[in-house]
Structure 1
């Protein structure tokens, strides 16, 4: 009998501590963290994205997550983003999301989404684009998660408090 793997996604606008949270949770829960493929992919693009780039990031994220599913520990996988990120960026940048992306989002559920709040100060990063749009993107994330009828919780707080809040939410939902 195959054991069910619980998948937890850490999502939200830019510069909200997603990667820090995902890595912390994986360490605390003794499991793996699927990194955000787009961070590797975008390093040479100089913030000039095309729809083809977004599609490539979509396939890269799927491949990375699927590869790590076979190595998961404790029947738990932490994901530093999901395919929903690709949809949000496609809609924003190109006013269109490819059907394959929309389809896969519907067929690749996560057991819990941690939506990172925008209460952290902005941290500059060459791969971040919209420091003044975090409120807008936070609302978009909430609408997208609600449209999926997703189980999600908002994670707020600064520093160690934020990390502990994320961990507490997972423990309450297991």
Structure 2
């Protein structure tokens, strides 16, 4: 089974694109566990919360993988947890960094910040999106990840992502 992760700064359409890709390819997707976790507990979090979110994200991904057909789309990945941990707390737990190194995605879609910011009680940094986009680019390059940047309107993003996934499915 192929795995495609969607990553990037807040309010870039990861959830919408994940859902649409899963519908298009008639498969499952793993929603962002952090949203569920923080909706239940409130928007303030600790490093321990980020670790719990990381465990929850991995479990959510595995549940979705069990029902996937040929390909699984993951609305976020542990790289997001790493970036937030380092930003908010100055470091990331080693086990998360190790898991990022070991976890394989056949493709990572890095969503650009060219969509308008949508306010949400769980979103924190509307003015740091360009900064975080650059951080994700750097992290993905350091990981030697197979990644592509996706930008434009939601429709253009879906079209770009489908082209990339179709190429992946040909291999």
Measured against the shorter chain, the TM-score band is: over 0.9
TM-score with structure 2 setting the length: 0.95
| Cα RMSD, aligned residues only | 1.0
Partner of 2:113: 118
Deviation at 1:43, TM superposition (A): 1.1
Which of 16, 26, 29 in structure 2 is aligned with 1:30?
26
Deviation at 1:167, TM superposition (A): 1.2
Moved more, 154-163 or 122-131: 154-163
Gaps of 5+ in 2: none
- Please give the alpha-carbon distance, in whole angstroms, between the structure 2 residues aligned to 1:123 and 1:166: 22
Please give the per-residue CA displacement for 1:87-116, whole angstroms capped at 9, x wherever unaligned. Answer: 010010001111111111111110000100
Which of 98, 102, 106 in structure 2 is aligned with 1:107?
102
Paired residues, number: 169
Deviation >3 Å, runs of 4+ = none
Partner of 2:129: 134
Please give the per-residue CA displacement for 1:61-112, whole angstroms capped at 9, x wherever unaligned. Answer: 1111112222211x21000011111101001000111111111111111000
Asked if the contact 2:27–2:67 (Cα under 8 Å) also holds between the matched residues in 1, the reply is no
- Please give the alpha-carbon distance, in whole angstroms, between the structure 1 residues aligned to 2:148 and 2:101: 19
Partner of 2:7: 11
Q: Which has the higher helix share?
A: 2
Partner of 1:85: 80
TM-score with structure 1 setting the length: 0.94
**What's the secondary structure of 1:145's corresponding residue?**
helix
**What's the secondary structure of 1:132's corresponding residue?**
helix
- Please give the alpha-carbon distance, in whole angstroms, between the structure 1 residues aligned to 2:53 and 2:127: 24
Moved more, 46-55 or 135-144: 46-55
Partner of 1:41: 37
Gaps of 5+ in 1: none
